[in-house]
Chain A
Amino acid sequence: MPSTYEPIATRTADGSTAFFDFSSIPQIYTDLILVIGGSTGDSAPFIRLNSDTSKIYSSTRLRGDGSSSSSGRRVRADGSPNDTRLEVGLGSSNEIVTNTFHLMNYTSTTTNKTVLCRANQASSAVHFSVGLYGSNSAINAIRVGNTNSNALSSGTVISIYGIKAA
């Protein structure tokens, strides 16, 4: 059987950069997995796809914080920055947080793109979200940043992997 789950790229924040751009993403995989590990700065991370700032992003989330569970949505064109990017993770300035994004069927040119995100912040909450990028374009670029536009904390590691179905 063919091996897969290949690392595509990794960046490590030095504490001076608010976002990283991954471009020219190979179109040879079935799904992409984006992992953000570390302290993301003073807010949660966002991802923006294909440098697309159109108001075509939305999401639905499930959250548990130890005492209750909750759900919420973010919809397009609600006047806030989150409709021009996916804000579906968790972040902290003083705690290691893991965010794992699954960009499913990212090369499709006939469907919108669904992103599943699992996030863990031990002192605060666990989180599972589904995001929608309302475009049929294949994903060839990803920006990962801090939602407050402040620097990602030094040592935060961002990795992208590709999984190819045989």
Chain B
Amino acid sequence: MPILGTLASSTQKSFNSFESIATVTVASGGSSVIAFSSIPSTYQHLQLRSSWGFENITNNTWLNVQFNGDSGSNYAYHAIRASGSSSPGISQNFGATKAVFGADDNGDAVIWASSISDILDYSNTSKYKTTRSLAGQDRNGAGAVNIWSSLWMSTSAISSITIIPDFSTFRQGSIFALYGIKG
């Protein structure tokens, strides 16, 4: 697709190692859970790219994630979160019941949060699974930027991902797009 003022547009081609697997777009009425199932095990890594808003929240709500329906205390996470003050805050939990991919502390109707999460070696059956996430929401003098790392203490290949906020529902139009990255 040509673009004005550029030289390289005539030589573009797709990278074949990054593929769209599935996308969930929240329909009218919102949704309290986002689920991906039957994830093929043919990639090296997964990437989840999300843009979302929460309905009617006044407190910080996290983007919680469980793999393969596991709601046991088999997760751990660490995070550093910055909200414009001089000292960034931290969060951590070992033995959690969820991984965390991001947060939203406001639920604004038009200013949504975004996150990009990598799920590394997700189909490996000999080691635990590690994720990393960049997430944030700026609201002109409010909001936060945060970095998360999560661990799922299971050697099972990941075949499903469920995203569940602490409370509230996702707004209509929120997008959760799952991609596969070949090795």
A contact residues around B83 at 8 Å (CB): 60, 71
Cβ-closest chain B residue relative to A130: B136
Cβ-closest chain A residue relative to B109: A111
Provide the bound-state CA to CA distance between A9 and B13, in Å.
11
Give the residues from 72 to 92 in chain B that come closer than 8 angstroms, CB to CB, to chain A. Answer: 80, 82-88
A2 located at the interface, meaning its Cβ lies under 8 Å from any Cβ of chain B in the complex: yes
B116 located at the interface, meaning its Cβ lies under 8 Å from any Cβ of chain A in the complex: yes
A21 located at the interface, meaning its Cβ lies under 8 Å from any Cβ of chain B in the complex: yes
B175 to chain A, nearest CB (A): 6
B16, B20, B113, B140: the one contacting A166 at CB < 8 Å is: B20
Contact with A along B1-29 (1 / 0, CB 8 A): 11111111100111111111111000000
A contact residues around B49 at 8 Å (CB): 30-31, 102, 104, 163, 165
Give the residues from 152 to 166 in chain A that come closer than 8 angstroms, CB to CB, to chain B. Answer: 163-166
A contact residues around B167 at 8 Å (CB): none
A121 located at the interface, meaning its Cβ lies under 8 Å from any Cβ of chain B in the complex: no
B111 located at the interface, meaning its Cβ lies under 8 Å from any Cβ of chain A in the complex: yes
Size band of the interface chain A makes with B = 35 or more
Contact with A along B107-140 (1 / 0, CB 8 A): 0001111101000000000000000001111111
* A11 x B111 contact (CB < 8 A): no
A10 located at the interface, meaning its Cβ lies under 8 Å from any Cβ of chain B in the complex: yes
B contact residues around A7 at 8 Å (CB): 8, 12-13
B177 located at the interface, meaning its Cβ lies under 8 Å from any Cβ of chain A in the complex: yes
* A3 x B110 contact (CB < 8 A): no
**Which of B62-70, B142-150, B151-159 interfaces with chain A?**
B142-150
Residues of A within 8 A of B (CB): 1-11, 20-26, 28, 30-31, 58-62, 69-73, 75-76, 102, 104-105, 108, 110-112, 114, 116, 118, 128-132, 134, 136, 163-166
Q: What are 18 A-B pairs at a CB distance below 8 A? A: A1-B21, A2-B19, A6-B15, A11-B6, A20-B5, A59-B138, A60-B84, A60-B143, A62-B82, A69-B88, A73-B138, A105-B114, A108-B173, A114-B51, A116-B116, A116-B134, A129-B136, A166-B21
Known contacts A69-B82, A116-B114, A166-B23; 6 further A-B pairs (Cβ under 8 A): A62-B147, A108-B173, A116-B135, A132-B140, A163-B179, A165-B49
